[in-house]
């Protein structure tokens, strides 16, 4: 099966996400409990799911990196985690807005998924100082992969623990009125989820392409100007795309 190009991927993401948001505002019924505020659910939850899936995917790439010792997997792991952290910022901000609209407070400890997401986010935020603190690039990549695997294993465990800590007295803020989603809401949610996932994939591939271009540029510069050229661009923590990877993944 031929992998769709980045351009097609991005177009698909834009179309599906637009369709999803259209469904949110023109098709999905109003929630009996929370009213119009519930519309945030269609944005917040897909962001959260994609972010968490992205962290796990980062862990899977990290496993591939350790097993095959190919730098391309480290780059993919880094970008996957990087974008999931960005999506994570979106999750926390939209979750906070939703909390304020529902409860009048900008943060609630009563919503277990939001709290466990905060913990996961705090953990993955340490990914950057971790990479920055290790100077040797090979070792940096290896240790970052170990971290990504450990953190990936941590995500489900953390969710279980936080959910268990949730006292049954406080009702969950974000649960819908009767627990399950009615069909029309479910459809809208799934379309939004698909759009968000496509967006995540498109952005990952976008960033990988930019990194590959940067790497090719460095190679070209080195070739033209000789070995004296020291690459001053490119941060110390962002892994370099290996020369063998010329096309975006």
Interface positions, 140-199, toward another protein (CB under 8 A): 142-143, 145-147, 149-151, 153-154, 157-158, 160-162, 164-165, 199
| Cα four-point dihedral sign 204, 205, 208, 214 | negative
Give the residue, chosen from 5, 220, 236, 247, that forms a contact with another protein under the rule CB under 8 A: 220
Is 21 a binding residue for another protein by CB under 8 A? The answer is yes
* Options 1-9, 50-58, 179-187, 211-219: segment touching another protein (CB under 8 A): 211-219
Q: Least distance in Å: CB of 4 to another protein?
A: 20
Is 64 a binding residue for another protein by CB under 8 A? The answer is no
Q: Least distance in Å: CB of 130 to another protein?
A: 6
Q: Tell me how far apart the alpha carbons of residues 202 and 208 are, in angstroms, rounded to a whole number.
A: 10
Please compute Rg for the chain using Cα positions. 21
- Judged by CB under 8 A, how many residues of this single chain contact another protein? 74
CB contact at 8 A, 245 and 72: yes
Q: Tell me how far apart the alpha carbons of residues 148 and 63 are, in angstroms, rounded to a whole number.
A: 9
CB contact at 8 A, 215 and 248: no
Q: Least distance in Å: CB of 2 to another protein?
A: 25
Residues 112-141 that bind another protein (CB under 8 A): 119-120, 122-123, 126, 129-130, 133-135, 139
Cβ proximity to another protein: between 1 and 135 the closer is: 135
> Residue 132, by phi and psi: left (phi above 0), alpha (psi -120 to 50) or beta?
alpha
Q: Token pair of 162, please?
A: 């936080």
């Amino acid at each position: 099966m031929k992998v769709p190009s980045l351009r097609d991927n991005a177009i698909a993401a834009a179309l599906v996400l637009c369709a999803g948001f259209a469904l949110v505002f023109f098709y999905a019924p109003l929630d009996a409990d929370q009213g119009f505020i519930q519309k945030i659910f269609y944005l917040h939850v897909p962001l959260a799911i994609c972010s968490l899936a992205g962290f796990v995917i980062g862990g899977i790439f990290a496993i591939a990196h350790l097993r095959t010792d190919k730098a391309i997997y480290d780059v993919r792991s880094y970008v996957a985690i990087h974008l999931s952290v960005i999506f994570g910022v979106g999750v926390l901000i939209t979750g906070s807005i939703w909390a304020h609209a529902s409860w009048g407070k900008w943060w609630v400890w009563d919503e277990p998924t939001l709290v466990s997401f905060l913990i996961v986010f705090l953990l993955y935020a340490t990914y950057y100082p971790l990479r920055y603190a290790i100077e040797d690039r090979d070792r940096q990549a290896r240790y970052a992969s170990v971290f990504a695997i450990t953190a990936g294993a941590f995500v489900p465990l953390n969710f279980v623990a936080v959910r268990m800590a949730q006292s049954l007295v406080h009702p969950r803020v974000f649960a819908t009125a009767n627990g399950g989603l009615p069909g029309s809401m479910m459809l809208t949610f799934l379309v939004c989820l698909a759009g968000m996932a496509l967006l995540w994939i498109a952005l990952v591939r976008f960033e990988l392409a930019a990194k590959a271009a940067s790497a090719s540029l460095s190679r070209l510069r080195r070739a033209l100007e000789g070995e004296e050229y020291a690459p001053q661009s490119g941060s110390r923590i962002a892994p370099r795309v290996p020369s063998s990877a010329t096309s975006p993944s």
